Amino acid sequence: MEKAARGCDGAPRGPVLHIVVVGFHHKKGCQVEFSYPPLIPGDGHDSPTIPEEWKYLPFLALPDGAHNYQEDTVFFHLPPRNGNGATVYGISCYRQIEAKALKVRHADVTRETVQKSVCVLSKLPLYGLLQAKLQLITHAYFEEKDFSQISILKELYEHMNSSLGGAPLEGSQVYLGLSPRDLVLHFRHKVLILFKLILLEKKVLFYISPVNKLVGALMTVLSLFPGMIEHGLRDCSQYKPRKSMSEDAGLQENNPPADDFVSVSAPNITCTNSETAKKTLTGNHDGDAAIATEEPLFPAENSSKGLGPSETSPYLKPPSRPSPESSESDWETLDPSILEERDQVGSEQTNSFPRESVPSDSAPITVQPQANMGQVVLLPGLISGLEEDQYGMPLAIFTKGYLCLPYMALQQHHLLSDVTVRGFVAGATNILFRQQKHLSDAIVEVEEALIQVQDPELRKLLSPTTADLRFADYLVKHVTENRDDIFLDGTGWEGGDEWIRAQFAVYIHALLAATLQPDNEKVLADYGTAFVMAWKNTHNYRVWNSNRHPALAEINPNHPFQGQYSVSDMRLRFSHSVQNSERGKKIGNVMVSTSRNVVQTGKAVGQSVGGALSSAKTAMSSWLSTFTGSTPQSLPEPPGKP
């Protein structure tokens, strides 16, 4: 993280770029009312002008349907200015106040309520930390009841840059407010399905209202991927919109600039100066990663900068003809020959695995990773451009046109069908997004913990194996233990947020190691052979596989919960089938409705029968009382007896 410095305008330059106030005008709609520093250099603080790259900012900061809630919080992503640098992370706090409560009421306030959002635009993905600070300032800003008092907003800008400018980017800061425990409690075994959906780079749409629940669930799922939030989202909002068909026709004639390519062979990694390439977790986040060729980390002879169109990288090449059917149209793709070259390197890696890594039929093991207290060393990825650890994490999922949009405004709807977008993980609160199911591979109904997948083939790929069900059940059992105890809830290591992230780190590391094993059909079967084969065709896996990761030699490639099939596995499989299959859902609904009817009928019958029994008991008791309480009388003697 860079330290706060003074820019040419005298304002401190740190992780926070701008403080922006967005309001709702009864005639103009959502518009920027204040920005510090100004969004356009040279404009005033009250200028409504917005950079073209950020034209959706007002609609993201002031979400659709916000008038239904007194307050809300939004996480959103903006593309970099002028196509350079990394993603801009936005955090917005929305509130509304009655107009009659204002001390100073301007002429343009014509409605009964005033709706505004205060948002922070940052270069660092500190969602929860910035949200906590911003909520306090937003509350104080509204308590002034005079929105012309902007001094508190300028002080917020200065304070955030001074307090965050020199501190290292720590996991506790990045993950603040993101709770995998709550995610597992809500989605239970389906958490692993969400994890695999994103690994396959599918078009995933999250849906719920209000926005704070939406962005919280989506970003918590991403936090399960090692290093993803810290270093894997720098390119997640970069896309190339296609404006006309003529531009489409010109793409096949004009090759992309040579600067877009990186030409470094995998064996050359060991020949580079590791001291100049290493970056710790406090690394640079303002767009000076290895992919930027202005300051290359490698010698000039290994760089493609300055090459002509016919001398581009041997490992990266433009597609021959972009089309809507292509999953990576308009984006450079890996040359398949690189995968063949990696086979030899991969075999060398697998030969270095310890003997304990050989698949066995032993009982399922219990994974107990310990918290990593050391400093993680990061290296710039040769192809991904991301800062990677020794295992190649984070995976290059959100690159080359695969978008991450925690909240998507209705004005961005066209991105769902844009041919330049390979895929997306997006969140929406407008029902129009959910109704157009053909634009998404999966729709996640957060409120009902429901994952709708239309394609039957994709459903087969995502079907969890027996080992996967054991893994998910292991998570659920540990998370649900002691959850009702207010003294133990979330305070221990096992079942806690960091513990859950560590479990998924073990899972993905073992999965990656398994793909490098020779004759690994049996090992891959525990992860799902069809799923692994589909994953190997994704962009993120091919980028990962193009580099060497010797640290995987220490990883056991077997599934953490491999083992023989048992009766408990049958019970798990049946429970999962009932909860997720259409027939199982129908049976479950019938059982619920039947049990409800039985209960209601039982109550009615109980009341009627109970009334009859009560009457019978009363009659019987009264008869007995009269019988036992009456005085004995002598029977008359038979006639004729003396």
- Residue-wise pLDDT tens digits, 43-91: 988 898 999 899 999 999 999 887 789 899 999 999 998 777 799 999 9
358 found inside a domain: no
**121 and 202 belong to one structural domain:** no
φ, ψ for residue 316 (rounded to 5)?
Answer: -125, 135
133 CB contacts (<8 Å, ≥6 apart)?
156, 159, 160
Q: Assess whether pLDDT exceeds 50 at residue 191.
A: yes
Distance CA 360, CA 343 (A): 24
Which strands sit side by side in the sheet containing 113-122, from one edge to the other? 29-36, 16-25, 113-122, 88-98, 71-78
**50 and 135 belong to one structural domain:** yes
Q: What is the CATH number of the domain that holds 42?
A: 3.30.450
**52 and 106 belong to one structural domain:** yes
Angle of helix 180-187 versus helix 211-222 axis, rounded to 10: 100
DSSP class of residue 160 equals H
Distance CA 314, CA 437 (A): 39
- The residue from 555, 580, 605 where one domain ends is 580
**413 and 436 belong to one structural domain:** yes
| pLDDT tens-digit map of 136-150 | 999 999 888 888 889
pLDDT for the residue 165: 75
Q: What is the CATH number of the domain that holds 410?
A: 3.40.50.11500
| pLDDT tens-digit map of 378-420 | 767 667 778 888 899 999 999 999 999 999 999 999 999 998 8
pLDDT for the residue 105: 75
Q: Assess whether pLDDT exceeds 70 at residue 212.
A: yes
Global pTM reads 0.70
Q: Assess whether pLDDT exceeds 50 at residue 371.
A: no
Q: Assess whether pLDDT exceeds 90 at residue 172.
A: no
| pLDDT tens-digit map of 112-122 | 788 899 999 99
φ, ψ for residue 398 (rounded to 5)?
Answer: -90, 60
Q: Assess whether pLDDT exceeds 90 at residue 580.
A: no
What the block records as the tokens of 386 is: 């991301």
Residues 58, 62, 65: CA angle, nearest 5 degrees: 130
Q: Identify which of 196, 151, 237 has the alpha carbon closest to the alpha carbon of residue 463.
A: 196
DSSP class of residue 43 equals S
Q: Identify which of 636, 344, 292, 580 has the alpha carbon closest to the alpha carbon of residue 462.
A: 580
512 found inside a domain: yes
| pLDDT tens-digit map of 530-562 | 999 999 999 999 999 999 888 998 999 999 887
Beta bridge partners of 76: 90
pLDDT for the residue 322: 37
Q: Which has more pLDDT, 325 or 452? A: 452
pLDDT for the residue 403: 96
Q: Tokens 């002008």 map to which residue?
A: 49
φ, ψ for residue 241 (rounded to 5)?
Answer: -65, 140
Q: Are 33 and 116 in contact (CB under 8 A)?
A: yes
Compute the average pLDDT of residues 29-48.
Answer: 91
80 found inside a domain: yes
Strand (E) or helix (H) holding 615:
helix 582-629
Structurally, how many domains does the chain consist of?
2
In this structure, the number of other CB atoms found within 10 A of the CB of residue 465 comes to 20
381 CB contacts (<8 Å, ≥6 apart)?
290, 291, 387, 388, 392, 396, 543, 547
**85 and 196 belong to one structural domain:** no
Compute the average pLDDT of residues 18-36.
Answer: 89
Alpha helices in 144-179 (DSSP H): 151-164, 171-174
Q: Please enumerate, as own/partner, the contacts of 566-575 that have beta carbons within 8 Å and a separation of 24 or more.
A: 569/466, 569/469, 569/470, 572/466, 572/469, 572/470, 572/473, 573/466, 573/469
| pLDDT tens-digit map of 240-271 | 543 443 344 343 334 344 333 333 333 333 33
**130 and 235 belong to one structural domain:** no
Q: Tokens 């079942």 map to which residue?
A: 495
Q: In the 3-class helix/strand/coil scheme, how is 119-132 assigned residue by residue?
A: EEEECCCCHHHHHH
Under DSSP, is residue 521 helix (H, G, I), strand (E, B) or coil?
helix
Distance CA 325, CA 262 (A): 26
Q: Are 551 and 390 in contact (CB under 8 A)?
A: yes
Q: Are 380 and 387 in contact (CB under 8 A)?
A: yes
Q: In the 3-class helix/strand/coil scheme, how is 245-290 assigned residue by residue?
A: HHHHHHHCCCCCCHHHCCCCCHHHHHHCCHHHHCEECCCCCCCCCC
Strand (E) or helix (H) holding 388:
strand 387-388
341 found inside a domain: no
Reported confidence tier of residue 22, pLDDT bands at 50, 70, 90: very high
Q: Are 86 and 286 in contact (CB under 8 A)?
A: yes
**20 and 118 belong to one structural domain:** yes
- For 28, the domain range is 16-167
**42 and 110 belong to one structural domain:** yes
| pLDDT tens-digit map of 306-361 | 333 333 333 333 333 333 333 433 344 444 443 444 444 444 444 443 433 334 44
Reported confidence tier of residue 153, pLDDT bands at 50, 70, 90: very high
**184 and 163 belong to one structural domain:** no
Q: Residue 616 CA to chain centroid, in angstroms?
A: 65
Mean pLDDT of the chain: 73
Under DSSP, is residue 78 helix (H, G, I), strand (E, B) or coil?
strand
Distance CA 16, CA 161 (A): 6
**167-171, 234-238, 616-620: least confidently modelled range:** 616-620
31 found inside a domain: yes
Under DSSP, is residue 92 helix (H, G, I), strand (E, B) or coil?
strand
Distance CA 273, CA 257 (A): 27
Distance CA 217, CA 211 (A): 10
Under DSSP, is residue 599 helix (H, G, I), strand (E, B) or coil?
helix
Q: Identify which of 380, 433, 445 has the alpha carbon closest to the alpha carbon of residue 409.
A: 433
Strand (E) or helix (H) holding 544:
helix 539-545
417 found inside a domain: yes
Q: Assess whether pLDDT exceeds 50 at residue 275.
A: no
Q: Are 274 and 348 in contact (CB under 8 A)?
A: no
Compute the average pLDDT of residues 577-586.
Answer: 56
Q: What percent of the chain has pLDDT over 90?
A: 45
- The residue from 123, 148, 167 where one domain ends is 167
Reported confidence tier of residue 103, pLDDT bands at 50, 70, 90: confident
| pLDDT tens-digit map of 590-637 | 555 655 665 565 555 455 555 555 655 555 455 444 444 443 333 344
Residues 275, 281, 285: CA angle, nearest 5 degrees: 95
Distance in Å from the first CA to the final CA of the chain: 127
Distance CA 503, CA 507 (A): 6
| pLDDT tens-digit map of 491-543 | 567 888 999 999 999 999 999 999 998 888 999 999 999 999 999 999 999 99
pLDDT for the residue 349: 43
Q: Identify which of 14, 119, 15, 138 has the alpha carbon closest to the alpha carbon of residue 57.
A: 119
**31 and 137 belong to one structural domain:** yes
79 found inside a domain: yes
- The residue from 534, 561, 580 where one domain ends is 580
Q: Tokens 């916000």 map to which residue?
A: 66
**543 and 514 belong to one structural domain:** yes
424 found inside a domain: yes
pLDDT for the residue 131: 94
Q: Please enumerate, as own/partner, the contacts of 399-402 that have beta carbons within 8 Å and a separation of 24 or more.
A: 399/235, 399/236, 399/539, 399/540, 399/543, 400/235, 400/328, 400/331, 400/332, 400/333, 400/539, 401/238, 401/239, 401/240, 401/328, 401/330, 401/331, 402/201, 402/236, 402/539
Q: What percent of the chain has pLDDT over 70?
A: 60
**518 and 398 belong to one structural domain:** yes
pLDDT for the residue 97: 86
Q: Which of 74-88, 274-288, 472-486 has the highest mean pLDDT?
A: 74-88
Q: Is 494 left (phi over 0), alpha (psi -120 to 50) or beta?
A: beta
| pLDDT tens-digit map of 442-451 | 999 999 999 9
402 CB contacts (<8 Å, ≥6 apart)?
201, 236, 421, 422, 423, 424, 539
Specify burial of residue 36 (Cβ count, 10 A radius: 0-12, 13-18, 19+).
middle
Q: Assess whether pLDDT exceeds 70 at residue 201.
A: yes
**Residues 65/67/72/78 CA torsion (nearest 10 deg):** 50
